[in-house]
């Protein structure tokens, strides 16, 4: 296969070439059954096999305990901003930790369904820090605490999830882990529910992953749509209605690829090394800056600015010429952003670092 460019998109994002090649080979005829995965009944034995394998492999990969249900849903992570309060809030108070654009959007959306209380916010630092859990102003009896464990736009990541019990709070923790799911292990003892859109680290858009603790299935509001009621989806093994079958199939190939890489610890080590390499190049240069506190820098989404913003178009055009794609930052913060999801190899990061140096030499 011809070598492909390196794609730094924040999502939908690059998928491992190995996975794409398997999907291409199996496109017309999956394992000799005469059908493409797209053409199969979701209730047939062939898709049943793919679905069961995907569930089992993801459970193994992320070491998800038995008392959590693993749901494959639709609607994206955005829809979960409404679906979570419909299922868990009972219309009562929910505490939000606001650390960037995505937790901000979650708070606003949830306000339609519950009382949203902002327990902590890092807006005063331009979302470049994380408020220490000991400083959070939690409500008396929140239905749950919501946070975004990796802010895709601002590039901040909780390297460790908070221990709510140590804060004297027994409410469940809900995390939006869309942009770093499957990039590192998760401490499930600290989590009540985790959700993620698939299109960054798990596969194509269209699939939404929800991992929910068994005891949280009993509290949905009666107005919650059936297809979005966790208990209903769980009781039907994610087959209450037609699931996004092709997206699940590609995700299952991604899970198998991650297991072949050595599992989540090995994947985390790769990601740590990649991020360190890029942050070092940014920090050592006189042209590029990253504003985020090093203690909470994301390993997945690395925003950076050129000190001379006039050079931005030339930077992006030069990057494209070198096969370094989709480096433009989110429009709300400007600048550049390199997303280093699992499918970005170290070679791609080294190619970007080399380009950063060359561009600085000619334009710095």
Q: Does the annotation place 241 within a ligand binding site?
A: yes
Q: Looking at the DSSP assignment, which residues form a beta bridge with residue 328? A: 336
Taken in order 150, 151, 152, 156, is the CA torsion positive or negative? negative
Catalytic hit among 57, 200, 257, 328: 200
Residue 102 bears catalytic tag: yes
Q: Radius of gyration over alpha carbons of the chain, in Å?
A: 21
Q: In whole angstroms, how close is the CB of 78 to ligand PMP at the nearest point?
A: 3
Catalytic hit among 95, 176, 257, 274: 176
Q: Which residue is nearest to ligand PMP (CB)?
A: 76
Q: Does the annotation place 290 within a ligand binding site?
A: no
Q: In whole angstroms, how close is the CB of 358 to ligand PMP at the nearest point?
A: 30
Q: What DSSP element (H or E) covers 196?
A: strand 193-197
Q: How far is CA 298 from CA 147, 159, 274, 306, 314, in A?
A: 15, 8, 11, 19, 26
Q: Looking at the DSSP assignment, which residues form a beta bridge with residue 68? A: 213
Q: In whole angstroms, how close is the CB of 225 to ligand PMP at the nearest point?
A: 16
Q: How far is CA 279 from CA 49, 285, 364, in A?
A: 42, 10, 18
**Separation of CA 10 from chain center:** 10
Residue closer to ligand PMP, measured from CB, 281 or 336: 336
Residue 265 bears catalytic tag: no
Q: In whole angstroms, how close is the CB of 176 to ligand PMP at the nearest point?
A: 5
Q: How far is CA 201 from CA 19, 23, 308, in A?
A: 13, 17, 32
Q: Looking at the DSSP assignment, which residues form a beta bridge with residue 209? A: 72, 196
Q: Enumerate residues 6+ apart whose C-beta is below 8 A from 290.
A: 155, 279, 282, 283, 297, 302, 303, 304, 305
Residue closer to ligand PMP, measured from CB, 115 or 330: 330
Residue closer to ligand PMP, measured from CB, 78 or 240: 78
Catalytic hit among 30, 102, 136, 257: 102
Residue 308 bears catalytic tag: no
d(CA 330, CA 328): 7
Q: Does the annotation place 176 within a ligand binding site?
A: yes
Q: Does the annotation place 223 within a ligand binding site?
A: no
Q: In whole angstroms, how close is the CB of 77 to ligand PMP at the nearest point?
A: 3
Residue closer to ligand PMP, measured from CB, 245 or 339: 339
3-state secondary structure of 16: coil
Q: In whole angstroms, how close is the CB of 102 to ligand PMP at the nearest point?
A: 4
Residue closer to ligand PMP, measured from CB, 211 or 306: 211
Using an 8 Å Cβ cutoff, are 348 and 4 in contact?
no
**Separation of CA 186 from chain center:** 13
Q: Does the annotation place 152 within a ligand binding site?
A: yes
- Residues of this chain that interact with ligand PMP (CB under 6 A) are 11, 76-78, 102, 148, 152, 176, 178-179, 197
Residue closer to ligand PMP, measured from CB, 78 or 188: 78
Binding residues for pyridoxal 5'-phosphate, by number, are: 102, 152, 176, 199, 241-242
Binding residues, by number, are: 43, 102, 152, 176, 199, 241-242
Binding residues for L-glutamate, by number, are: 43
Which residues are known to be catalytic? Answer: 102, 176, 200
């Amino acid at each position: 296969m011809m070598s492909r460019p390196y794609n730094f998109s924040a999502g939908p994002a690059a998928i491992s070439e190995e996975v794409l090649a398997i999907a291409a080979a199996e496109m017309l005829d999956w394992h000799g059954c005469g059908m493409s995965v797209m053409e199969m009944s979701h209730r047939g034995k062939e898709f049943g096999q793919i679905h069961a394998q995907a569930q089992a492999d993801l459970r193994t990969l992320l070491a998800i305990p038995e008392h959590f249900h693993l749901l494959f849903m639709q609607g994206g992570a955005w829809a979960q901003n409404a679906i979570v309060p419909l299922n868990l809030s009972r219309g009562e108070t929910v505490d939000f930790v606001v650390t960037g654009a995505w937790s901000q959007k979650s708070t606003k959306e949830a306000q339609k369904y519950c009382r949203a209380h902002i327990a902590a916010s890092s807006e005063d630092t331009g979302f470049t820090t994380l408020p220490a859990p000991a400083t959070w102003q939690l409500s008396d009896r929140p239905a749950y605490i919501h946070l975004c464990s990796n802010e895709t736009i601002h590039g901040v990541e909780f390297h460790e999830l908070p221990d709510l019990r140590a804060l004297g709070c027994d409410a469940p923790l809900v995390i939006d882990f869309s942009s770093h799911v499957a990039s590192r292990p998760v401490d499930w003892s600290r989590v009540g529910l985790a959700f993620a859109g698939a299109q960054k680290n798990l596969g194509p858009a269209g699939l939404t992953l929800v991992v929910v603790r068994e005891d949280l299935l009993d509290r949905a509001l009666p107005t919650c749509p059936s297809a979005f009621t966790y208990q209903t989806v769980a009781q039907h093994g994610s087959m209450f209605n037609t699931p996004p079958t092709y997206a699940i199939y590609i995700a299952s190939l991604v899970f198998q690829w991650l297991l072949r890489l050595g599992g989540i610890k090995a994947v985390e080590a790769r990601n740590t090394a990649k991020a360190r390499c890029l942050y070092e190049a940014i920090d050592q240069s006189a042209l590029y800056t990253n504003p985020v506190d090093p203690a909470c820098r994301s390993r997945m989404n690395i925003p950076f600015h050129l000190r001379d913003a006039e050079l931005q178009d030339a930077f992006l055009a030069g990057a494209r010429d070198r096969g370094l794609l989709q480096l433009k930052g989110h429009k709300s913060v400007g600048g550049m952003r390199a997303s280093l999801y699992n499918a970005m190899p170290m070679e791609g990061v080294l190619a970007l670092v080399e380009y950063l140096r060359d561009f600085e030499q000619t334009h710095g």
